[in-house]
């Protein structure tokens, strides 16, 4: 997709989907999964999306053609409708309730203003949750300018609320490709103001600064990148010797990977299936393809609700884990005829083939929780002998000549992205990690970080976790001096070796 790797003159082909990042040119081996999470807010048709309150009533004028001023008299922003600010503020306040880690970070660090002097350009989904992140950065002393990393995912009222309080935001739901780059440029290119930090999700902003404003890029103190794709592009830059600033890979931190994937999928698989199909889980025969973190999360939840789950795997270690966890390990073709639900979580392509779709029983539900939209060979279903019937939003019945129906969810795109919500609490973990990465890079003594891509130090991972414990009223035990000595540990951590598997 163009705006993910667009270099101005490239021919842009919009995929017919709101889940644009999925078409990334850069599939990478590890951590692909996280990609999906980074754009979870793009789920524009989600039941709970507050955005739906306001969209339909909006006029058709492009925000670029409107003259808007916030109550402070500033017009340094471009949003759909600044008058929605109040409604957006309420959404932000609701989000704050589940993001107390960031609020707590504001309190702990506010006195010292660790980001005083930071000038951050950011490019993320613009949602209530990222608004809490942005306002945290501001509270810690930073100046921020922001733009959207996805043309569909902006909550217009949240953008308005941010603009109203003085954060220059350039984003609205339903941007064109041209709008997208225009916004990025407006975000970066401000007379008398020069960014010294980049917070990116996908790498487009980074790329734009690198290409269009090389002198700015060289003076940046650090880049914080959240997505698989963006991280991949940074590694490529680094490999090519062109990364002249330190970058922090937030995507592969423990807190993000273990919590975002395992725990989040444990809940969203149920949510996604229910909202689309009203299926009763009890007694359903389910095959989950792939027993990584995502697969583990799906299997745990479905089994807990009475489904009979088996899995497929290519990796014998994960397969052995599945055995010990009580799941039969099968080949898809062995069981496909009996299954009520087929879920892919592999990150691979053509995991469910047309031949297997042909053999499914009537009413079988097929969906994808893994990477991109390649796991199910949906293309093979677009053939003349099959009839597609859209029965609900995100739900298609594919009808075979003999009347058999297969229920395809989200056209094979990510189910939890399209048909469920991501709990604010999980987003809080990621946002806190991003905030700490910004603080770390901005304040690191010269020389600590070179022109390379870094993982967050384990101690900061632990700090992110500790900021979230009060949500659960969890009380950590402290090591005594004697115990710390016995264990050879510092009382304040880090508590585990880097290779610890959790």
CB 206 within 8 A of CB 223: yes
Of 5, 328, 354, 359, the residue at the interface with its own copies (CB under 8 A) is 328
| Cis peptide bond N-terminal to 494, omega within 30 | yes
Strands lying side by side in the sheet with 453-455: 169-170, 143-148, 119-124, 197-200, 222-225, 247-249, 453-455
402 binds its own copies (CB under 8 A): no
Residue 395 DSSP SS3: strand
Of 113, 305, 390, 452, the residue at the interface with its own copies (CB under 8 A) is 305
298 binds its own copies (CB under 8 A): no
CB of 323 to its own copies, least distance (A): 4
Residues numbered 83-142 forming contacts with its own copies, rule: CB under 8 A: 90, 94, 97-98
Tokens linked to 68: 């808007």
377 binds its own copies (CB under 8 A): no
CB 121 within 8 A of CB 198: yes
CB of 52 to its own copies, least distance (A): 10
Residues numbered 336-365 forming contacts with its own copies, rule: CB under 8 A: 338, 347-351, 362-363
387 binds its own copies (CB under 8 A): no
Residues numbered 442-461 forming contacts with its own copies, rule: CB under 8 A: 461
CB crowding 73-87: b at 16 or more within 10 Å, else e: eeebbbbbbbebbeb
57 binds its own copies (CB under 8 A): no
Residues numbered 216-255 forming contacts with its own copies, rule: CB under 8 A: 254-255
**Residues marked as binding for substrate?**
127, 201, 226, 256, 260
Residues numbered 1-30 forming contacts with its own copies, rule: CB under 8 A: 27-30
**Residues marked as binding for NAD(+)?**
292-297, 313, 416
CB of 479 to its own copies, least distance (A): 6
Counting residues that bind its own copies (by CB under 8 A) gives 111
Q: Which CB, 204 or 293, lies closer to its own copies?
A: 293
Distance between CA atoms of residues 453 and 249, nearest Å: 6
Strands (E), 313-378: 328-329, 341-344, 364-368
Of 106, 274, 354, 359, the residue at the interface with its own copies (CB under 8 A) is 274
Q: Which stretch binds its own copies (CB under 8 A): 131-139, 200-208, 242-250, 489-497?
A: 489-497
Of 172, 208, 263, 449, the residue at the interface with its own copies (CB under 8 A) is 263
* Cα dihedral 10/16/18/23 (nearest 10): -50
What would the 3-class secondary structure string for 130-172 be? HHHHHHHHHHCCCEEEEEECCCCCCCHHHHHHHHHCCCCEECC
CA geometry: angle 129, 155, 37, nearest 5 deg: 50
């Amino acid at each position: 997709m163009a705006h993910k790797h667009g270099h101005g003159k490239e021919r842009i082909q919009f995929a017919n989907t709101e889940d644009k990042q999925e078409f990334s040119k850069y599939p990478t081996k590890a951590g692909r999964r996280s990609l999906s999470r980074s754009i979870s807010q793009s789920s524009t048709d989600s039941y709970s999306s507050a955005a739906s309150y306001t969209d339909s009533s909006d006029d058709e004028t492009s925000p670029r053609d409107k003259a808007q001023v916030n109550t402070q008299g500033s017009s340094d922003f471009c949003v759909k409708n600044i008058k929605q600010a109040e409604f957006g503020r309420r959404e932000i306040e609701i989000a704050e309730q589940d993001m107390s880690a960031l609020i707590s970070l504001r309190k702990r660090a506010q006195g010292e203003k660790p980001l005083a002097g930071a000038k951050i350009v950011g490019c993320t989904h613009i949602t209530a949750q990222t608004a809490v992140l942005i306002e945290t950065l501001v509270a810690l002393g930073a100046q921020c300018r922001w733009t959207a990393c996805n043309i569909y995912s902006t909550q217009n009222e949240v953008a308005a609320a941010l603009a109203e309080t003085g954060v220059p935001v350039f984003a609205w739901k339903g941007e064109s490709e041209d709008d997208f780059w225009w916004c990025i440029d407006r975000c970066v290119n401000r007379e008398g103001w020069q960014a010294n930090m980049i917070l990116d999700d996908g790498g487009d902003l980074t790329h734009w600064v690198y290409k269009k404003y090389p002198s700015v890029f060289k003076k940046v103190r650090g880049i914080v990148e959240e997505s698989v794709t963006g991280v991949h592009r940074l590694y490529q830059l680094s490999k090519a010797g062109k990364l002249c600033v330190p970058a922090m890979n937030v995507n592969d931190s423990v807190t993000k990977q273990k919590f975002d994937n395992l725990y989040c999928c444990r809940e969203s698989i149920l949510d996604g299936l229910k909202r689309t199909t009203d299926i009763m889980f009890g007694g359903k025969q389910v095959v989950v393809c792939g027993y990584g973190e995502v697969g583990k999360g799906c299997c745990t939840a479905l089994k807990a609700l009475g489904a009979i789950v088996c899995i497929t795997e290519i990796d014998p270690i994960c397969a052995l884990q599945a055995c010990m966890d009580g799941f039969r390990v099968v080949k898809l073709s062995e069981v496909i005829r009996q299954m009520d639900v087929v879920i892919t979580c592999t990150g691979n392509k053509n995991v469910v083939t047309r031949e297997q779709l042909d053999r499914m029983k009537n009413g079988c539900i097929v969906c994808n929780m893994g990477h991109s939209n390649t796991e199910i060979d949906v293309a093979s279903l677009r053939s003349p002998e099959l009839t597609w019937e859209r029965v609900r939003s995100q739900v298609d019945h594919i009808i075979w000549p003999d009347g058999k129906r297969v229920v395809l969810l989200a056209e094979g795109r990510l189910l939890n992205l399209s048909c469920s919500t991501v709990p604010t609490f999980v987003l809080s973990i990621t946002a806190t990690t991003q905030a700490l990465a910004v603080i770390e890079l901005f304040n690191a003594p010269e020389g600590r970080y070179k022109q390379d891509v870094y993982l967050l130090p384990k101690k900061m991972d632990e700090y992110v976790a500790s900021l979230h414990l009060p949500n659960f009223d969890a009380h950590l035990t402290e090591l005594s001096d004697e115990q710390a000595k016995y264990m050879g540990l510092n009382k304040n951590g880090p508590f585990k070796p880097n290779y610890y598997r959790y």
